[in-house]
Amino acid sequence: MSGATVLLVLFAALLHASWNALVKAGPDKLLSTVLVAGGAGVLAALALPFLALPDAASWPWLAGSACCHLAYYRLLAAAYAHGDMSHAYPLMRGSAPLLVALGSAVLVGETLGARQYGAIALICAGVLAMSLWRGAGAAPPSRRATLFALLNAAVIACYTLIDGIGVRRSGAPLAYTLWLFALSAVVLLVAVMGKRQALREYGRQYWKTGMLGGLVSMASYGLALWAMTAAPVAVIAALRETSILFAALIARVFLRERLGVRRLCAVGLIAGGAVAMRFA
């Protein structure tokens, strides 16, 4: 994996943590999530007329991913409604890479070396340790937040594998990404039609946040999908989880969440895993 690819994936990780913080900071987590997904869908739809369609072989994977993203957005909102970002985010993003590594070996036929698996394990250990450890005097983590976050980790692993296959069959990574965001937005909006009045009022006040979050979300995942065409899916998925480093900083500085010394030590595990991944 080239140095340029590593830098792009790390930038994607920063963008991912940023739009998650926008959702967490919103007064209604579900409606904030819908606005972000909707913003990404609008931006994607504006660009789609200028791009060729992805290859037909990728459309079943697009449909499957859009359904997975519906579950992802709902579970994301639920996790943030019941717990801190510094607790839920590591569980969601840290549990997924190991599942992806196991799944990609079966579904994609990728064979990883011992050092790559060691780096994946190091990153997973770091993000899980950050989530489970807490500082002195801190309240225990919410069980509901933990449950929703772990369920979402499984969903993340599913759509990562699906998109890793789909983007390779599409012949057009950019078009595949934009169609994914457009379809995911439609599916999510249909699912929350019962809240359309509340969403309309919420959107009038926070539409700028939705558009900004949508742009950042789309750029983050688009960069990751492109990287999957140049390097093994499991490696990209694990390296992208260094977004926890950025999420921890954002949670501390902007969301005013407490981070204990032990969790900060876990950051060292994640950084070490990222370096090991680079040279694996």
Q: Which residues contact 7 (CB under 8 A, 6 or more apart)?
A: none
Predicted local confidence at residue 69, as pLDDT: 96
CA distance 156 to 237: 10
Predicted local confidence at residue 275, as pLDDT: 65
> What is the full per-residue pLDDT of the chain (280 aa) written as tens digits?
778 888 899 999 999 999 999 999 999 999 999 999 999 999 999 999 999 999 999 999 999 999 999 999 999 999 999 988 988 898 888 777 777 777 777 776 777 788 878 888 888 887 777 666 655 555 666 789 988 998 998 999 899 889 888 988 999 988 998 999 999 999 999 999 999 999 999 999 999 999 999 999 989 988 888 888 788 877 787 788 788 889 888 988 888 887 777 777 777 787 777 667 666 6
Predicted local confidence at residue 279, as pLDDT: 65
Q: Is the CB of residue 118 less than 8 Å from the CB of residue 54? A: no
Angle between helices 233-240 and 261-279 (to 10 degrees): 150
Q: Is the CB of residue 186 less than 8 Å from the CB of residue 73? A: no
Predicted local confidence at residue 248, as pLDDT: 85
Q: For 113, which DSSP code?
A: -
CA distance 28 to 199: 10
How distant, in Å, are the alpha carbons of 9, 121, 187, 227 from that of 4? 9, 23, 34, 10
Which is nearest to 3 in space by CA: 205, 231, 158? 231
Predicted local confidence at residue 108, as pLDDT: 66
Q: Is the CB of residue 74 less than 8 Å from the CB of residue 82? A: no
Count CB neighbours of 276 within 10 A.
18
